[in-house]
């Protein structure tokens, strides 16, 4: 019996660790089918290591899993997370997943957004925000050296291999997590000349997770065939019909860029997160407009792409794509865009089936439209001038995976006879049609002093005659 005046000692209650609380919450969510997780996703979410890097296949849920971890962390205790993505569209998609998780977990939050001005580039971006009842916040922004510097918080670098100037972003970002914040880096690979590749291959500090399509499939990922039946990753490989893309996008291999004429490093450097397919209202400065049209054949895509020349830089102005569209509708659409843009010059692919469209456009618009016959020597001139434009940083394009892959897929090949030709593998997204439309725009601008070789590559009469013989 305790003596008078003495106190009864209480047995201390051990508080659960972050990992244990997360386990309980995630298990509860999974049981209620609120946030179902595959095995590899659960392993990623439950790992509370300070530094984690994930090399994941496309469409295996890396953004889904990482945004869930952030929501669980915000719900457990007051903290902040910052999502940095390659563009505004990607930022919106990532925070949308976080909102879905919060609703599924019945976690109250409020939405907000603000304009975020970056003094380095002079650009303004939308900062999206979620605020939780306990004061926790999740912010989502496009990544650049300014936005990476602006917040001290836990950080998610989403698709980091695709961030423009990833090394500069990294230098600005890392000091913001100095005081114990966590860092999550997730991406599919994109060549070897970026910070993501350096961290994955050379830094032992990070807990590393690799999830290729086969390992995800073996741990429960569902793949659906043509008619809704269960399928294997081999179905995707056959449908993709592009071995290099398969190795990179699904097997998570850092594909050697030796055969790519324009490497990812140059492409990403030309991307601007503010640009979309149509930038008429964004590009208000005065400048001449130039356009290129690549005509699709059978399964390929017809692409109209115009650029506005501001100073000595070509800015993507309008990009329109048509596939499986009858000739008359394609012609009417192209005329409509030419009438809206009033380009100073339009260069049109007049090879093969493109000859008729090129002839009709030339007849309607006269010398403003130049039909281009795609001989090997002409394609070499176009490709070389376009690469020089990327090297000189005199072009700006949207952040768009199809555009990026179209440009990267063009290869310089040497035949057995020693001749040079430029070609690309045909995929479900076309035959690098976006690249050739871009190259034709660069050529159209080159006629008026943009730079690069100025070559005469196919008069209208010659192109029309070639079409008639096709």
Single out the residue of 61, 64, 137 nearest to residue 97, CA to CA.
64
* pLDDT for res 24: 63
Rounded (5°) CA angle 392-394-400: 110
* pLDDT for res 242: 78
Reported as a single tens digit per residue, the pLDDT across 376-424 is 889 989 999 999 999 999 999 998 988 998 998 888 765 545 567 787 6
Determine the Cα–Cα distance for residues 317 and 308; give it in Å rounded to an integer.
6
What is the DSSP code (8-state) at residue 420?
A: E
* pLDDT for res 3: 42
> According to CATH, what is the number of the domain 18-233?
3.40.50.300
* pLDDT for res 446: 87
Q: How many CA atoms lie within 13 A of 289 on its CB side?
A: 21
Is domain 264-469 annotated with CATH 3.40.50.300? no
Domain with CATH 3.30.420.240 in the chain: 264-469
- H-assigned helices in 318-368: 327-341, 354-365
* pLDDT for res 50: 96
Determine the Cα–Cα distance for residues 164 and 24; give it in Å rounded to an integer.
38
Low-confidence ranges of the chain (pLDDT < 70): 1-33, 115-125, 145, 147-148, 256-259, 281-283, 297-299, 413-419, 424-431, 447-470
Domain with CATH 3.40.50.300 in the chain: 18-233
Instruction: Count other Cβ atoms within 10 Å, centred on residue 198.
Output: 14
Buried-exposed string 199-213: b where 16+ CB fall within 10 A, e elsewhere: bbeeeeebeebebbb
Determine the Cα–Cα distance for residues 102 and 84; give it in Å rounded to an integer.
19
**Residue 163: burial class (beta carbons within 10 Å; 0-12, 13-18, 19+):** buried
Question: Do 38 and 68 contact (CB within 8 A), yes or no?
Answer: no
DSSP count for the chain of H helices, then E strands: 17, 16
Sheet holding 109-118, edge to edge: 109-118, 123-132, 137-142, 80-85, 154-158, 183-187, 51-56, 207-211
* pLDDT for res 125: 66
* pLDDT for res 163: 87
Single out the residue of 121, 156, 125, 119 nearest to residue 138, CA to CA.
156
* pLDDT for res 117: 52
Question: Do 259 and 448 contact (CB within 8 A), yes or no?
Answer: no
112, β-bridge pairs? 129
Reported as a single tens digit per residue, the pLDDT across 54-63 is 999 999 999 9
Residue 172 has which token pair?
């600005």
Question: Do 307 and 360 contact (CB within 8 A), yes or no?
Answer: no
Token look-up 């997770």 returns 209
Helix (H, G, I), strand (E, B) or coil at 124: strand
Pairing assessment for the beta strands 154-158 and 369-372 based on DSSP bridges? unpaired
Beta strands in 150-191 (DSSP E): 154-158, 183-187
């Amino acid at each position: 019996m305790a003596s008078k005046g003495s106190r009864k000692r209480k047995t201390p209650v051990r508080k659960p660790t972050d990992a244990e609380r997360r386990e309980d919450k995630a298990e509860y969510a999974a049981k209620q089918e609120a946030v179902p997780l595959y095995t590899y996703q659960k392993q990623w979410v439950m790992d509370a290591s300070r530094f984690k890097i994930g090399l994941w296949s496309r469409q295996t849920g890396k953004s889904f899993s990482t945004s869930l971890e952030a929501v669980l962390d915000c719900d457990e205790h007051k903290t902040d997370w910052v999502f940095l993505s390659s563009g505004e569209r990607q930022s919106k998609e990532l925070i949308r997943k976080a909102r879905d998780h919060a609703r599924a977990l019945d976690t109250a939050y409020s939405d907000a957004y603000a304009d975020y001005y970056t003094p380095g580039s002079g650009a303004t971006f939308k900062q999206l925000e979620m605020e939780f009842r306990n004061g926790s916040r999740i912010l989502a922004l496009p990544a650049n050296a300014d936005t990476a510097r602006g917040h001290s918080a836990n950080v998610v670098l989403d698709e980091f291999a695709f961030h423009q100037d990833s090394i500069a972003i990294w230098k600005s970002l890392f000091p913001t997590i100095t005081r114990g914040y966590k860092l999550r880096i997730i991406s599919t690979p994109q060549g070897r000349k970026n910070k993501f590749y350096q961290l994955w291959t050379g830094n032992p500090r990070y807990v590393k997770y690799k999830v290729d399509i086969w390992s995800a499939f073996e741990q429960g990922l569902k793949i659906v065939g043509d008619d809704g039946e269960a399928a294997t990753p081999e179905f995707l490989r056959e449908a993709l019909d592009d071995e290099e893309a398969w190795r990179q996008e699904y097997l998570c291999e850092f594909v050697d860029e030796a055969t790519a004429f324009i490497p990812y490093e140059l492409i990403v450097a030309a991307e601007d997160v503010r640009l979309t397919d149509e930038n008429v209202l964004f590009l208000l400065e005065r400048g001449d407009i130039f356009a290129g049209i690549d005509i699709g054949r059978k399964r390929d895509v017809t692409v109209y792409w115009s650029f506005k020349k501001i100073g000595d830089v070509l800015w993507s102005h309008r990009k329109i794509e048509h596939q499986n569209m009858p000739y008359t509708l394609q012609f009417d659409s192209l005329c409509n865009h030419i009438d809206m843009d009033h380009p100073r010059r339009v260069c049109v692919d007049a090879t093969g089936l493109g000859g008729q469209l090129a002839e009709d456009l030339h007849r309607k618009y006269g010398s403003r439209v130049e039909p281009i016959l795609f001989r090997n020597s002409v394609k070499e001139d176009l490709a070389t001038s376009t690469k020089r434009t990327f090297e000189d940083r005199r072009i700006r394009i949207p952040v768009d995976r199809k555009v990026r892959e179209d440009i990267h897929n063009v290869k310089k090949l040497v035949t057995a006879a020693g001749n040079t030709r430029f070609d690309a593998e045909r995929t479900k997204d076309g035959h690098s049609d976006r690249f050739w439309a871009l190259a034709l725009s660069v050529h159209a601008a080159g006629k008026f002093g943009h730079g690069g070789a100025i070559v005469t590559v196919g008069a209208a009469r010659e192109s029309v005659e070639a079409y008639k013989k096709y």
